[in-house]
Amino acid sequence: GAGVSQSPSNKVTEKGKDVELRCDPISGHTALYWYRQSLGQGLEFLIYFQGNSAPDKSGLPSDRFSAERTGGSVSTLTIQRTQQEDSAVYLCASSLVLGGEHGYTFGSGTRLTVV
Amino acid sequence: KQEVTQIPAALSVPEGENLVLNCSFTDSAIYNLQWFRQDPGKGLTSLLLIQSSQREQTSGRLNASLDKSSGRSTLYIAASQPGDSATYLCAVGNTGGFKTIFGAGTRLFVKA
């Protein structure tokens, strides 16, 4: 696609429920990244994918968070048993190659509110 | 561990003024540095990307410089306009670049 697409744009969920956030990167971009931006905070790196592989999952906040990428394209970030502290904007970015030699393109984010 | 600091945290200027936003980083072994703007409730828009071998990049009224040895980058905005009001984020790509570290941003308000 022309840009990085994220869905849903907004999600309100009850505490304890599971949520799935979707990211559709720019076609042909091999690298994909997930970030989290909490209210008044900077961007927190969560995980990156090179193709379908995520070599480093240490940035995920807890074992309730998981992410996958299939076909080298769409990625989903899943949060199980959501907690109020999970409320944030989740941003996805992609780059042509890992390392962003030509820069990163960000999606508009998913605003998650856990009530 | 790379740390990125942006100063000032907030800035309010009258329209037409030239201004400089500052970004500093603690580890000079960077791959690249990118400046973004973020409008309220929106994603990030890339402004300028400087590779580690470069000293500056220019786009329109924007000029970004990079001094790796001192761990600093500046974003210069000429003849500011109300439409420039946004949060400006500096992002440093460490070697490999896959763990880009962001500063907390500078919130800019340009008064008409």
Quick one: pLDDT at residue A1? 54
pLDDT in tens, A88-110: 999 999 988 876 667 788 999 99
Select from B32, B45, B100 the Cβ nearest to the Cβ of A45.
Answer: B100
Interatomic CA distance for residues B51 and B55, integer angstroms: 8
Residues 43-82 (B) with a CB less than 8 A from some CB of A: 43-46, 49, 51
Residues in A touching B101 (Cβ below 8 Å): 45
Check if A30 contacts B (Cβ < 8 Å).
no
Low-confidence ranges of chain B (pLDDT < 50): 97
Check if A33 contacts B (Cβ < 8 Å).
yes
pLDDT in tens, A21-66: 999 999 999 999 999 998 877 788 899 998 888 878 888 999 999 9
pLDDT in tens, B76-90: 999 999 999 999 999
C-alpha B11: how far from chain center: 14
Quick one: pLDDT at residue B96? 57
Quick one: pLDDT at residue A43? 86
What is the CB-side half-sphere exposure of residue B21 using CA atoms within 13 A? 31
Check if A59 contacts B (Cβ < 8 Å).
yes
Q: Name, in order, each residue with C-beta under 8 angstroms of A62's C-beta and a sequence gap of 6 or more.
A: none
